[in-house]
Amino acid sequence: MPSDRTLLALLDIRDNARLAPSFIEGMSLAQFKSDRRTVYAVSRCLEIISEAARRLSPELRERHPDQPWRAIMGLGNVFRHDYDNVAEEILWRTVHASLPSLLSAIEPEIASMTPRAGPDVPGH
């Protein structure tokens, strides 16, 4: 049985993978690059995703070999130690090209771990 820690990590990934694109919705790359607050917000979302991915079990990650887990987990180190070299284009590309696939991988995992209330549940 997966742990609460795993579910919480998956929820952190899901929430931030949804939040990052919402920050840049309707923006062009040029607008994004010139908006320091949005760049910071998106990079923070990706940092949280990176840290949460580290809390996932190897078995869960192995169920999704199409995801670049090593790169996802390594992103946090880039933000912490090489933050002055983080290019806005990489953030932009990551949000647009990588997060939809990541969401597709983790949403079924979350669904399988989340109990669903139905009409047979006493008291409902």
> pLDDT tens digits, residue range 36-45?
999 999 999 9
SS3 content of the chain, % helix, strand, coil (to 5): 75, 0, 25
What pTM was estimated for this model as a whole? 0.84
The upper half-sphere exposure of residue 36, i.e. CA atoms within 13 Å in the direction of its Cβ, equals 1
Please state, as a whole number, how many other Cβ atoms lie within 10 Å of the Cβ of residue 4.
Answer: 8
pLDDT score recorded for residue 124: 38
pLDDT score recorded for residue 122: 44
**3 state DSSP class of 68:** coil
C-alpha 16/C-alpha 24 separation (Å) is: 13
The model's pLDDT over 62-71, given as tens digits with 9 standing for 90+, comes to: 999 999 999 9
Q: Is the pLDDT of residue 48 over 60?
A: yes
Amino acid identity at 77: N
Mean pLDDT across the chain, nearest whole number? 87
Q: What is the mean pLDDT of residues 71-95?
A: 78
